[in-house]
Chain A
Amino acid sequence: MARGRFHGDRWWKVMRLKEQCQHYLKRSLRNRCGVAYRHLRRALIHQTKGRRLKVYATNILRNQRLEAACDEHEIGHRRFKRGLNKSGVTLNQHMLNILSMYEPRTFERLVELAERTEIETVRGVHEPLPERRFSANKINI
């Protein structure tokens, strides 16, 4: 039903708006579109801003999970990352989390890899190394 010359048929536009407001508790917000539009607009703005914050939050979560997984194997999480870097393993936090949850035995071996490369390349430089060595004959001068 056309109310005026300028607006035309706004029924579909109003229906799209109302679909988003059906879960609002106040009856006036469910039925009156002008009032509801303000709330909707705020919610959509939060959504656009939240897209950036989501990355921030997932990084924090993944770090917490890595710390927990390293704690179970009695290694510090920073030592673990250092050792992996030294040995050339470039797995990111996301994959390390997946391994610790779904493949616990590979994660144990990764912990061993990190420890032994760190001892033999960083800490073992000034000390005689064991005969059965894990890492290649590399030294850091």
Chain B
Amino acid sequence: MNTKAQKEPLIHLTKRGAMPVYKAMIIRALAVVLALIVCAVITGLTTGIDPIAVYTSIISGAFGTARKTWITLQDVSILLTISLALTLAFRMRFWNIGGEGQVLMGGLGAAACMICIGDRLPAPVLILLMLISSLTLGALWGLIPAVCKAVWNTNETLSTLMMNYIATQIVLFFTILWEVPKGSGKIGIINQDSHAGWLPQIFGSKYLLPIIIATAITVFVYIYIKYTKHGYEIRVVGESPRTSIYVGINVKKVIIRTMIVSGAICGLVGLILVGGINHTLTATISDGRGFTAVLVSWMAQFNPFAMILTSFVIVFMDRGAGEIATQFDLNQSFGDILTGIILFFIIGCEFFINYQIRLRKKGHREA
């Protein structure tokens, strides 16, 4: 027997029970402060630029002008809405990583209405048709993997992922079909003169609509999961499919129903992007946010209100990164490094919330 076995080890990890919310929040806040300090040190060492100036620049990148602030909020809304859509599936342990494709298909639905019938219908009817077609196409892109899962028990992670590529190719096909001018490979701004199918401005602001929709959907998803029968079924199916069968829940129905809702919300985001913000359709309109949303949802531990915060952190850092890249002549990757460090601390601090660390007692040392 070696002597090592005799000594009490320096630290022990024990799992904590529930921690008071305020305490957990203090730990998370400390993690952010620590992350900022580490970022500052790394910035100072590698670039020689005053870290305070970098931080100021990040903040001004996100909130420097009224317009920048509005765009930041708009981006948060978009990311948040996609995250909420995915969360519905995630609570069911259905790993929908097809947000990207569902958003694209929603966008395609809106663009198709604007291009094909935009000039012939009054605005309210057109927008209603756009809404229906975006929701339907988004829902369809959620429905297909759901049916495969429910009927043949296929792996939803693979099928939702592959649906993204199909969506991209379909959008590319229509881009060529609808390109203006011919040979440019782009659709360009749709209905630039008539503004047909452009979503209305709220109180004269074009930024407000996504924010209002995101707020409404946050509340909806929270209530839907927590208080409705559908939400209850989602949670039971997610936690224990076997129990669901025992209590007479139709698991297939729940999977299909939930993915229709999840896909439809993504489709709605496509509508906002095409009809409200970009007024055009490209294959990159979702810009990877279908995947970023997976991170947002997990970081918030599937809590809709916590997602407001996590999506904000990501958008804030992303916008800030762009700003420092131009202002200090660094490339965009440097901002990504800082984002990475901050995310590492935020995710890592959960360890200290879940586990307790006990140091060896001094008196026992020579036992």
| Same assembly | no
Residues of B within 8 A of A (CB): none
